[in-house]
Amino acid sequence: MLRKKILASVILMPFTAAMAQDSTVVEEKKSPLTFSGSVDGYYKYDFAKTAANSFTSFTGKHNSFALGMGSIKATYEGDKIGAVVDLGFGPRAKEFAYTDDGITAAIKQLYVTYTPAEWLTLSLGTWGTHVGYEVLDPQVNRNYSMSYMFTNGPFGHTGFKAQVTKGAHSFMAGIANATDYRVVPEDQINKKFALAQYAYAGDKVSVYLNYVGGKAPDTTKSNQVDAVVTAKFSDKFSIGYNGTVAFVNGWDGVKNTSSKSWWGSALYLNVDPKPWFGLTLRGEYFNDDNQLKTFSGAAAGGNIFATTLSANFKVSSLTLIPEIRFDNASEDIFTDKNGAGTKSATSVLVAAVLSF
């Protein structure tokens, strides 16, 4: 009997050791600190042979190889405390941080979070805006050139926000410096913006309703409401929609003037016939009849309809994006190859985006 017990112990010993090793692997803790980043650049050609036809962010070159941005992001996720340090270098990052000088222009995001309960997250610092469909980081977008709504909306916010999450629903509210200002001029420190978002993130459909409003350093007041809807029908087909409207009260030197608005609407059709190949067609209508944005060369303002077709070729962590874009306006805001005003512009580009 004793012999059988000893034999059984000898037989089970390797299995017991193996289980102990497996247990060690399972119990091994994941590092709370992770790193990621991206590098991008592009070549663009405007058929009018001019760089003057670009009124959207980050692709304002013609017949030139151009740098985009190099990014490095560190994320710390503790039990209740977290932090993000997100830095960017290059023309894209500089244009994004247009109100900053010196080293602060390299800061894309820099904030800390505190999660006192599973349903509540508090954040303090500077972060990319919640408004809109497109974002600064090119590896997240499927079109490389940006929409007019992205260009004319907020880029980022510096302040405090609280987010409450329950299941697929969440609500965010916050207060921040004037839009895109990390450092506010001394005589403007009392001007703040309110932030809000309601979000529903379902398995197939997601909905985001966004708001930002307040008084800017130039004493104008603005209130912008924005909606983003995404729907995934299959692994090969999805759509996105972004609609936004901004109400602006100008300043006549004494008081704020009556409200005027600009607005836009865009539809994104995404087709992925292969894991390594996809197409995105973006159709955007941008209305600036009140001439609130600087690209409206006509005295009466105007509107633009832009159509962009982008392909995504993926090779491991590298994405190549050839793109063709047609912009048509109601007024002669573009320039033709003879230097005369025209209502339309056509351009092509090829971008390379590496993410890690």
CATH of the domain at 198: 2.40.160.10
- 213 contact partners, CB below 8 Å, separation of at least 6: 193, 194, 221, 222, 223, 224
Domain annotation covers residue 3: no
Domain annotation covers residue 125: yes
Residue pair 311/303 in contact (Cβ under 8 Å)? The answer is no
Measured between alpha carbons, how far is 29 from 231 in angstroms, rounded to an integer? 35
The number of domains in the chain is 1
Residue 218 pLDDT: 78
Residue 9 pLDDT: 45
Domain annotation covers residue 325: yes
Domain annotation covers residue 243: yes
Measured between alpha carbons, how far is 92 from 133 in angstroms, rounded to an integer? 18
Q: What distances in angstroms separate CA 14 from CA 20, 22, 27, 88, one per listed residue?
A: 10, 12, 20, 52
Domain annotation covers residue 12: no
Domain range enclosing 341: 32-355
Residue 4 pLDDT: 39
Residue 87 pLDDT: 98
Q: pLDDT averaged over consecutive 10-residue blocks of the chain (356 residues)?
A: 40 41 57 96 97 95 97 97 98 96 92 98 98 98 98 96 98 96 78 96 97 88 97 97 95 84 97 98 95 66 94 98 97 92 96 98
Domain annotation covers residue 222: yes
Residue 175 pLDDT: 98
Domain annotation covers residue 232: yes
- pTM of the model as a whole: 0.89
Q: Which helix (H) or strand (E) holds 107?
A: strand 107-117
Measured between alpha carbons, how far is 332 from 309 in angstroms, rounded to an integer? 23
Read off φ and ψ for residue 228, nearest 5 degrees.
-130, 130
Measured between alpha carbons, how far is 50 from 336 in angstroms, rounded to an integer? 8
Measured between alpha carbons, how far is 326 from 310 in angstroms, rounded to an integer? 12
| 244, two tokens | 């936004």
Domain annotation covers residue 200: yes
Residue 298 pLDDT: 55
Residue 12 pLDDT: 41
User: In angstroms, how far is CA 274 from the centroid of its own chain?
Assistant: 25
